[in-house]
């Protein structure tokens, strides 16, 4: 039996263009009800999120198409960035009718509307990030050249003599995990390994925080104007950026602007710094950066963690210090050699503050990138009871693509490929194209368990002690490595920048923090796995279709997934079987020959079709 209505916002016969549109861009809507339903009128009902306006536009009845009527109209998008929610209302001559919305045929008067993102494209997004390969480094754990002496540094630090030690995870006598154990990785150490990163075809080096801090993760900033002395000096940072450029690599920094450390120049709860902090005096120049109720012992802190006092981003002096001032933190480190910033907990930064950060980035070093940490669909997220504007043109250029990781893991661990496609098409539909193609895609970060451990382990150990000592068995590791190759190929083939969390390409294991933050196993890497990543990097580097191309899904059922990426006359087709059983798949192929880039295996198309016999845990990248 035919559906009463035909409308699919992802189909060009129903809505064009696909997905998000620019301000003032024209959008064609076409909807087709069955003629027997008797509808004579149709209206597009719109709610504009930020202006609060509600509009109703009657569509033109174009006449019958077979057993259906065709209603259509062209709508000019608003002149300002918006989230536009819409559904259709149908009625008959007698006034009876119903609504059609994102949940299908409904008549209860409460539509679940479709989303149309309207964005400002007057400040273009630089293409270099999304086209390239990113490598994330947790600086303390990547490479050390000598064992540092922590004497005189902020925080009660200790340094592991043995590079291969397990990071400390046990609480101290107060029940807190202090993260005060360091391994001594340095900026000079990173610079000494740039050749290895170039072999991986890395084009962007994303550094977790490098500024002076009391903890090894350095997300509790003590001084935004200084490199942590255990990592080196500002001169070392400038040298790293200059050397990276000679290897074709840009450097982006982690900006932690939602909170500082309690042991910092600005708060100074432990009195380490000679200046007067907000915890010491209400006359401190930093006092209005924080919110006390009352001063000095009760203050707002990030997620209630007292070592991370939250800042008041609306403070004029804080905004000038971080963003607006001529020598602001954003501008200073861009001038020192950075090419962009990744914003920690961007969803906890006010829109107005994010816009100031973006303005500082664009003016201080045009062509730099500003990325945000958001774990959900960033186009429509509500944070602190407010719909956010991250991707509408005046805030971030792109976001960390946690939805990609979530959908990829679900697929790789036995889910249906159709669910992966639906999740990713939702992101592609909702995100402005520049943001979709500039997303930071990944399988793991410093905030997640190691991807090899996730894919290889059947269950998560219950206790932290068990997780601390956990290693995959030989069989589990073999299983995890097979799936990781499929996962990595999917990562590199997908639109956006594939991001490697340091050591994933070397076969590192580990559950969540701090076990996912172990030291890089120099000299003990899984060389076969690393060679696979090098090969993926070669493909990404050589194929413009993987750097810039669109995406078209060719197959999605059960464990099988296939899509193509095309740019001009070049097409790369990615084919996957994530399951435990062999799979036969047919995909369209318009060229005379076909070859898997990863293995060199040749395929012969027949009548415009490639018939593929896929063993379990297989990835093909066909050119």
Q: What count of Cα atoms within 13 Å lies in the side-chain half-sphere of residue 443? A: 28
Q: How far is CA 200 from the centre of its chain?
A: 20
**CA separation for the pair 577, 315 (Å, rounded):** 53
Cα distance between residue 350 and residue 386, in whole Å:
10
Coil, strand or helix at 347 = helix
Within 25-95, residue ranges assigned H as helices are none
Q: Which tokens in the block code for residue 261?
A: 């450390």
Instruction: Give the residue among 580, 583, 588 at the shortest CA–CA distance from 622.
Output: 588
Active site residue 344: yes
Q: Degrees (nearest 5) of the Cα angle 81, 87, 90?
A: 145
Instruction: List the alpha helices (DSSP H) in 457-520.
Output: 464-468, 474-493
Indicate which residue of 313, 373, 505, 526 is catalytic: 373
Residues with Cβ within 8 Å of 240's Cβ and at least 6 positions away in sequence, in order, are 187, 188, 190, 191, 251, 337
Q: How far apart are CA 27 and CA 226, in angstroms?
A: 50
Q: State how far the Cα of 469 lies from the Cα of 332, in Å rounded to an integer.
A: 42
| Alpha carbon distance 177, 11 (integer Å) | 52
Cα angle, residue 309 at apex, residues 307 and 311 outer, rounded to 5°: 155
CA distance 120 to 138: 34
Select which of 212, 313, 344, 347 is catalytic: 344
C-alpha to C-alpha distance for 504 and 451, rounded to whole angstroms: 7
Decide: helix, strand or coil at residue 615.
coil
Q: Six-digit token pair at 79?
A: 């002149």
Q: Mind telling me the catalytic residues?
A: 344, 373
């Amino acid at each position: 039996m035919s559906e009463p209505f035909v409308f699919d916002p992802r189909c060009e016969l129903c809505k064009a263009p696909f997905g998000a549109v620019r301000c003032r861009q024209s959008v064609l809507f076409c909807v087709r009800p069955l003629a027997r339903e008797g509808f004579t009128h149709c209206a597009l009902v719109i709610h504009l999120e930020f202006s609060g306006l509600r509009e109703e536009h009657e569509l033109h009845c174009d006449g019958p198409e077979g057993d259906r009527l065709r209603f259509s109209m062209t709508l000019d998008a608003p002149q300002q960035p918006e989230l536009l929610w819409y559904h259709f209302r149908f009625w008959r001559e007698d006034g009876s009718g119903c609504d059609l919305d994102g949940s299908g045929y409904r008549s209860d008067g409460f539509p679940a509307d479709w989303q149309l993102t309207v964005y400002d494209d007057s400040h273009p997004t630089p293409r270099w990030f999304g086209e390239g390969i990113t490598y994330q480094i947790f600086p303390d754990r990547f490479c050390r050249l000598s064992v540092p002496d922590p004497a005189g540094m902020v925080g009660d630090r200790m340094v592991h003599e043995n590079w291969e030690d397990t990071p400390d995870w046990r609480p101290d006598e107060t029940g807190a995990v202090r993260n005060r154990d360091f391994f001594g990785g340095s900026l000079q150490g990173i610079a000494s390994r740039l050749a290895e990163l170039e072999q991986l075809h890395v084009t962007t080096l994303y550094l977790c925080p490098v500024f002076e801090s009391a903890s090894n993760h350095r997300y509790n900033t003590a001084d935004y104007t200084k490199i942590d002395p255990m990592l080196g000096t500002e001169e070392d940072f400038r040298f790293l950026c200059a050397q990276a450029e000679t290897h074709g690599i840009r450097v982006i920094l982690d900006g932690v602007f939602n909170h500082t450390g309690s042991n910092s120049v600005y708060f100074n709860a432990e009195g380490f710094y000679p200046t007067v902090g907000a915890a010491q005096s209400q006359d401190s120049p930093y006092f209005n950066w924080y919110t006390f109720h009352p001063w000095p012992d009760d203050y707002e802190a990030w997620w209630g963690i007292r070592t991370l006092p939250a800042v008041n981003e609306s403070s004029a002096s804080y905004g000038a210090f971080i963003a607006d001032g001529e020598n602001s933190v954003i501008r200073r480190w861009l001038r020192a050699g950075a090419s962009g910033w990744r914003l920690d907990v961007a969803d906890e930064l006010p829109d107005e503050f994010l816009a100031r950060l973006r303005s500082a980035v664009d003016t201080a070093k045009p062509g730099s990138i500003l990325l945000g940490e958001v774990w959900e669909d960033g186009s429509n997220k509500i944070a602190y009871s407010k719909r956010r504007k991250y991707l509408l043109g005046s805030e971030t250029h792109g976001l960390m693509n946690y939805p990609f990781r979530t959908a990829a893991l679900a697929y790789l661990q036995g889910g249906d490929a159709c669910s992966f496609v639906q999740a990713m098409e939702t992101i592609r539909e909702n995100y402005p194209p520049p943001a979709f193609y500039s997303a930071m895609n990944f399988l793991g970060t410093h905030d997640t368990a190691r991807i090899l451990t996730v894919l290889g382990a059947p269950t998560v150990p219950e206790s932290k002690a068990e997780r601390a000592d956990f290693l995959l068995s030989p069989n589990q590791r073999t299983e995890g490595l097979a799936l990781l190759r499929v996962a990595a190929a999917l990562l590199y083939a997908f639109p956006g920048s594939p991001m490697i969390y340091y050591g994933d390409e070397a076969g590192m294991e580990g559950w969540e923090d701090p076990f996912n933050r172990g030291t890089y196993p120099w000299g003990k890497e899984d060389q076969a796995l690393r060679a696979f990543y090098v090969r993926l990097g070669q493909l990404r580097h050589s194929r413009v279709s993987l750097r810039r191309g669109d995406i078209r899904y060719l197959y999605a059922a059960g464990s099988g997934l296939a899509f193509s990426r095309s740019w001009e006359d070049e097409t790369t087709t990615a084919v996957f079987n994530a399951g435990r059983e062999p799979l036969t798949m047919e995909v369209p192929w318009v060229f005379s020959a076909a070859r898997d880039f990863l293995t060199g295996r040749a395929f012969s198309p027949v009548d415009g079709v490639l018939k593929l016999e896929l063993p379990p845990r297989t990835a093909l990248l066909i050119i």
